[in-house]
Structure 1
Amino acid sequence: MPRTVFNRLYRAIEGEGFFVRRKDALSRGGIHPLQRVVAAIRMLAYGAAADSLDEYLSMSEDSVLQSLKSFCSTVIQKFGIEYLREPNEADLRRILAINAARGFPGCAGSIDCQHWQWKNCPIAWAGQFKGKERKPTIVLDAICDGELWILHAFFGSPGSLNDINVLDRSPTMERIIADEFPPSIPYTLNEKQRTMPYYLADGIYSSWAIFMKTIKDNTAKKEEAFAKAQEAIRKDIERAFGNDVSNVMVACIILHNMIVESRRDNYQSVMASLQHFSEARAMFAAGQSFTMVSSRHSRITSKVDHFSLKRDLIEHIWNAHGSV
């Protein structure tokens, strides 16, 4: 974590509720807010046990745990609106431009699920939270862009569900089907005009128009080139991965996005030449009929459109990079 991000966190949190230095019964200064912030970040960063920090920070186990819980809830309160918002039109144009430069026009990010072990899961709930991992887990469904900024996160599904079952419960997928998200931005692929963005996914996802999977049994050189490119770009999401557990996860996502934002100035963005974006505006119409939603659902889940998009991507990547 860069020092600038840490200082920003500390300035925002210092003096808030639990992060106030109080005097004890002997009028001596108690635990400094800086100690509490360092303890919380150290636990999040290294997975350190609370009782392992007593000598390093001169704090008891209970104080460290209270600091962690208060830190997570305060970070969500202070930075949640800014760092957990969904992409607007300007954000999506930037993401599409970055992925177009990487060989995937129309790609809005990579999607995947990650299972997190729930060590203290109640025995009565263990069955529904156990899946292929053989241990109780909680699922994080996430979408990230090429900069590793987490665009969408859905956390809390039981580990007995696979990626598709989790997707069926995702609020973002509901908004996509309702045509409320993402904004419709036209792009050209293989000399064809398209408006529906797509996400790179692994093989378990359905062959829908909004998902683009790799080709496992590729025999032609064009398909092999496409598979290598898709798998390389999709690694973005691999790199990016009770109420208290949920707050810890959400706080970690906010901190992750803050660090990504702080590093943007350290490299040359492919969007540097585009200095102005249109203002974000409401793109969605209220009160859609069942017929409209059903039609949108059919477009999203269309296998015909999925394979048509895949053929165009194969040709595009081959024409751009096939001879390299």
Structure 2
Amino acid sequence: MDRQQEQESDNSSEVAYLREDQLRAQHHRPPAIDDAIKIGESTARVAMLKFCEAIINTFKEQYLRDPTTDDLARLLAENKERGFPGMIGSLDCMHWRWDACPVVWRGQYNGRYGYPTLILETAASQDLWIWHAFFGMPGTNNDVTVLDYSPLFNRYMDGTAPPIEYEVNGRQYNLPYYLTDGIYPKHAVFMQAKNNPVTAKERAFTTLQEACRKDIERAFGVLQQKWRILAMPARMRKTSDLLRVMTTCIILHNMIVEDECGHNLPVWTPPIEENQNFPEHEQSVEDVRLLYRIRMGRIRNSETNVRLCDDLINHQWMRSGGENI
């Protein structure tokens, strides 16, 4: 009899715990959260934002940094082994539902999903480290529009990006590239899969490109799985608060990636004006505009994209044991 009572008590406890977990998962019911953590909703929100601010101020420079020279060397070596020399990651966008969007803004933020969203543009590597994050564009934009406002290539445009050189199929290149889906333009810094692969070489290239590009999809999935707040509709009204939450989640995500992957990297130290290639003399406005047009032309060069794609197809075909046709 005692054992039966103990078993019933254990079962009731399990049901109670399960009920509490379900209430916590229901993001639209703040009283359940109040009962669990014993503080008010507004107090919990203020405490969370202060925590986010502390994380960003302390760790952003290290865990949300642009790739350094050593980082780029490691990324290039890893991706060369995968069959994509010169590739430094995969690029894509995800949407975060925003239920607390003000009514007057809903027309601007209502995208293809039928509800307001905010867009996160991200570049990630094979180990799921997020190297670039640009957040806050309204959900009515597509990936190309977000790219127009993104700071992804600011370092290259400023002339402060580390120089990169690599060889593909006997040809030299000096611009790294990201794997993307078909919506991105055919620029020198993007590499898409073949839309209608015909030959065996093109089919093999498309299969490998799509497989490697899943790195960014995996990064999105892990990010939302570890930080459930990103998988739930956002309930804060200020976009600045949402930006702090998103930035904090990405920093903590990269901390976990560093701990789990164990690259045996040296202790990180802040770079001291690394690769500052500014000329000693003061540049005129005309010179700056000319450099800007030249660099933008290199980035948007579609001929380089086509040539690089052909070289990658032949490189991967020869690497897999095929004959160069």
- Give the TM-score of the pair, scaled to structure 1: 0.77
Aligned-partner Cα distance in 2 for 1:118–1:72 = 19
The verdict on how the C-alpha distance between 1:315 and 1:46 changes in structure 2, with shifts beyond 3 A counting, is farther
Encode CA deviations 1:205-261: one digit per residue, 9 max, x unaligned: 000000000112111110000001111111111111221111100001101100101
Aligned-partner Cα distance in 2 for 1:169–1:322 = 42
Where do 1:77-156 residues align within 5 Å?
A: 77-156=57-136
Aligned to 1:294: 293
Between 165-174 and 301-310, the greater mean CA deviation after superposition: 165-174
Aligned-partner Cα distance in 2 for 1:201–1:313 = 15
The alpha carbon displacement at 1:282 in A equals 1.8
Q: Does 1:284 align with 2:277?
A: yes
SS in 1 for 2:152: helix
SS in 2 for 1:214: coil
Which of 188, 195, 201 does residue 167 from structure 2 map onto?
Answer: 188
Q: Does 1:234 align with 2:227?
A: no
Between 312-321 and 168-177, the greater mean CA deviation after superposition: 168-177
Aligned to 1:209: 188
Aligned-partner Cα distance in 1 for 2:169–2:106 = 49
Aligned-partner Cα distance in 2 for 1:315–1:53 = 57
Aligned-partner Cα distance in 1 for 2:92–2:25 = 23
SS in 1 for 2:243: helix
Which of 260, 263, 275 does residue 263 from structure 1 map onto?
Answer: 260
- Could you list the structure 1 runs, at least 4 aligned residues long, displaced by more than 4 angstroms after superposition: 45-50
The verdict on how the C-alpha distance between 1:46 and 1:246 changes in structure 2, with shifts beyond 3 A counting, is farther
The alpha carbon displacement at 1:264 in A equals 1.6
The verdict on how the C-alpha distance between 1:50 and 1:93 changes in structure 2, with shifts beyond 3 A counting, is farther
Q: What one-letter code is carried by the residue in structure 1 that aligns with 2:65?
A: R
The alpha carbon displacement at 1:78 in A equals 1.6
SS in 2 for 1:142: strand
CA RMSD of aligned residues (A): 2.5
Q: Does 1:307 align with 2:306?
A: yes
Which of 161, 186, 198 does residue 219 from structure 1 map onto?
Answer: 198
Encode CA deviations 1:52-89: one digit per residue, 9 max, x unaligned: 33343333333322222222111111211211111111
CA contact (8 A) 1:179 1:293 kept: no
Q: What one-letter code is carried by the residue in structure 2 that aligns with 1:249?
A: M
Q: What one-letter code is carried by the residue in structure 2 that aligns with 1:219?
A: V
The verdict on how the C-alpha distance between 1:77 and 1:224 changes in structure 2, with shifts beyond 3 A counting, is same
Aligned-partner Cα distance in 2 for 1:214–1:179 = 29
Q: What one-letter code is carried by the residue in structure 2 that aligns with 1:236?
A: D
Gaps of 5+ in 2: 1-20, 221-238
Count of aligned pairs between the two proteins: 272
SS in 1 for 2:153: helix
Encode CA deviations 1:144-181: one digit per residue, 9 max, x unaligned: 11111111111111111111111010122333334433
